[in-house]
Structure 1
């Protein structure tokens, strides 16, 4: 378990340094922890979101585009009250 935690931290550290930060105007709306059908995702202001592995993300207005390590991407919309991300592949609810 300790080896897995260390590997995850190293991956997150590498990913955090490899990606540019998302625009502050929309990043502040997304940063935090989100719950969805597959568990939880933590979104950081530097353009990295971590669920099982790190994803890249960027934003424009209230639309957020996530890109997986394999290159697959999808766009979701932030609800008006800022509590939900709506769109495929699933909806997410803000935890904090």
Structure 2
């Protein structure tokens, strides 16, 4: 067993998590920024105006990105299964 394999597996896992989370969070952050600018420009301090668009965008990102997220997780799982002989032997 070589420690380099474990470091590589861990770094790939962390990078995959960052990519998957960013695909969901970044659209929500952009919409939140746009709504915050709109609220600051119009002096509207309604809480639902800030919350609902971000919720809708997050749900849409999950709906449209679900196939891609599932595919990335499946590919990573298959890669981990292929690495098992290297780790065990």
Q: Same fold (TM over 0.5)?
A: no
- Identify the structure with the greater helix proportion: 2
- TM-score (normalised: structure 2): 0.28
What's the TM-score, normalizing by structure 1?
0.26
Which structure has greater strand proportion? 1
Relative contact order, CA 8 A, sep 6+: which one is greater? 2
Larger Rg: 2
